[in-house]
Chain A
């Protein structure tokens, strides 16, 4: 499974480069008699070839499935081949035998021709795939291969034949670039990429062609030493590396550098290990002991810390997941998507997180473990994580399970938050409605009342109701018993102040609950009845009784006063008001006047039960 990670591919490229470079040295040592000295030009060619394959290999390791990086890699490999093949020539003119020289030269020329074909291929598909690119590529590849074979087999013998091939290739590259330029006229991003990468190739390869290939092709001497001129090709690869960030060449970004950094660190550690083993003075007792001591005390701890940091796998415990979910779910709305990405980054440390089209509600592994798909969540669009653990791992079932778990936790947290927000908004609406329906209506009635005493009573009631709304703001439903206890205390004070005896049992007699608006209505109704008794009835007793029946609650309010005048029943003393309160409760109210006033209110239990 590890074979598909970018790191593995980088190691593969590295091994190939080491092998190729090593064989150059092997050839040289085999041919040489005695000491060898390597001139700067030799190193320069090694550097050019390895630089080209390193950068193109790096790009390919991160985007192995795309066509353009494949062509780019072939160009890098070709560059390595054509520089290394003739690198040994710098060591000394007579080092290699004539047949070996001829063979190496042929490898160099084949590499150069392959480079040209790879570049033609690259610009046939990148930035945009040109129409019929396969046919064009096949045609170019066959023509140049046949041409090369004819040259290698001695059919074509005129001097500079190979340079004519590369020159023609260069002209073709420029033609394709012109096509791409035309093709990208409506796509500024593609055009920017083209100008950058195409420019690098035109300058890098072009300089070589102009200074070396073109003069040679027509029998003139090269303007620059060919071995130095190889360096021009580095321009292409350095230009590409520089353009990754700015133009996202090959769809790569800054994370490509992170991947490279990790790979380099690992290589560095391996190199250091090897170095230490090689330089340990195994034959000298005290020196060996001292060296071992230093290695054990200094190097190993540093190396271990470094390795641990590099290969640290995030501990994906439930607690950790929950923490990330909470961080995200309770972040302010506009920060949530960013927090979600941050959580995913810290949990899986992918090299790249991409926005993708939503395609499923479930987490899914894609491209055989390279990617992990996450559905739309936390105000974020669907995401695709690419390259687990900075490219050192593949997404497997265990990561998918963890991610699915995370997604489910997140969904639940989001639902709870949504419910909470809904609750807050409903509560706000309820308070506003309470204030409007009760306080507003009462103040309006008070304003329009012409009787001064009644005005005061109404305003007092409004204040008392308002306090009740404030105190019960968070409560959903109220116990009837609590509401009646408050009302009993208040009524007892008022009756005592008026010298009326109160007959109201201390035991509530019911455990039903009422919704706030019903509670309010019942309170106002009983208050109104008590007020009437105090102000109009000239009574000596006021009684309250409650019976909790199966289907309803029945409240009887009575006094022993003068009763009321049936003729004025519908106008005075707030009786219509009491009737409307009873209607709101969905109940019935009956007034009778025999030896005082008697009011019977029945409230269906269905109303009281809605509070559950």
Chain B
């Protein structure tokens, strides 16, 4: 159950609006507000959170820093990226850094609340454009040594249908599997995305002679 939530957002109106949505979804939840990256980092260091909504473009830096810091201190915290103008590539890097998903702030309140509760309950959503970008990423990186981040055929199918604009339920129907299975496939894809980007970073570091052995 969600008891404490962190919202990192620099626009005052939007911060209030997001707070309202969180409180509507989880009545009685304690909401801590941060207005910039530095503030966000301090809050993350000070206490634990069950849920964090983090804007990527902050006046003093990237929300990615707050996200990484949170996942480092609390592996199990649910981190969600909120964005309006972020480029797809930023969202993919947030996912690979451990974000459970992302929300577009222009979505209307009712729909956003629905998406939020789904994400918080571990049902990830993924937009077609992001799905296509992730497919492209795995196509490019190819198989890597160590912990194998390559997608299974089933995962690739899920990603492919999502990339064509199918919702989780529709993907489940098309592949004759349970919706929860689709969700776990997507979570696995996100996890592998993190691994593959780490492995790629390590490979790059090795190639440049920056580390003897990267983990």
Contact = CB atoms under 8 A, between A and B. Distances in A.
B164 A497 contact: no
B165 A467 contact: no
B58 interface: no
B89 to A, nearest CB: 9
A545 to B, nearest CB: 14
A429 B110 CA distance: 37
B110 A497 contact: yes
Interface string B154-198: 000000011111110110001000000000000000000000000
Contact of A486 (B85, B128, B167, B170): B128
A185 B58 CA distance: 71
B73 interface: no
B85 A485 contact: no
Contacts of A508: 164
A576 B161 CA distance: 34
B106 A463 contact: yes
Contacts of B114: 497
Contacts, number: 71
Contact of A484 (B87, B104, B107, B165): B165
B147 interface: no
B62 interface: no
A465 to B, nearest CB: 10
B170 A492 contact: yes
A164 interface: no
B132 interface: yes
B6 to A, nearest CB: 24
| A interface, over-half SS | helix
B166 A506 contact: yes
Contacts of B35: none
B132 A471 contact: no
Interface in A458-475: 459-460, 463-464, 466-467, 470-471
A492 B165 contact: yes
A490 B115 CA distance: 12
A506 B110 contact: no
B185 to A, nearest CB: 17
B69 interface: no
A506 B161 contact: yes
A492 B127 CA distance: 11
Nearest to B114: A497
B32 to A, nearest CB: 26
Contacts of B108: 456, 460
Contacts of A481: 164
Contact of B111 (A489, A493, A507): A493
Contacts of A464: 104, 106
A466 B86 CA distance: 10
Q: Which of A456, A482, A485, A496 gathers most chain B CB within 10 Å? A: A485
A507 to B, nearest CB: 8
Contacts of B174: 506
A183 interface: no
A485 B170 contact: no
A466 B85 contact: yes
B72 interface: no
Contacts of B132: 482, 485
Contacts of B166: 488-489, 492, 506
Given A464-B106, A485-B163, A486-B165, A497 B111 contact: yes
B167 A489 contact: yes
A470 B56 CA distance: 15
A490 B130 CA distance: 13
Interface in A413-469: 456, 459-460, 463-464, 466-467
A65 to B, nearest CB: 59
Contacts of A463: 84-85, 105-106
A493 B163 CA distance: 14
A466 B167 CA distance: 24
Interface in A475-504: 481-482, 484-490, 492-494, 496-497, 504
A496 B85 contact: no
Interface of B: 84-88, 104-108, 110-111, 114-115, 127-129, 132, 161-167, 169-170, 174
Interface of A: 456, 459-460, 463-464, 466-467, 470-471, 481-482, 484-490, 492-494, 496-497, 504, 506-508
5 contacts: A463-B105, A467-B86, A485-B129, A493-B115, A506-B174
Q: Which 7 A-B pairs have the closest CB atoms?
A: A488-B165, A463-B106, A485-B165, A489-B165, A485-B128, A489-B128, A460-B106
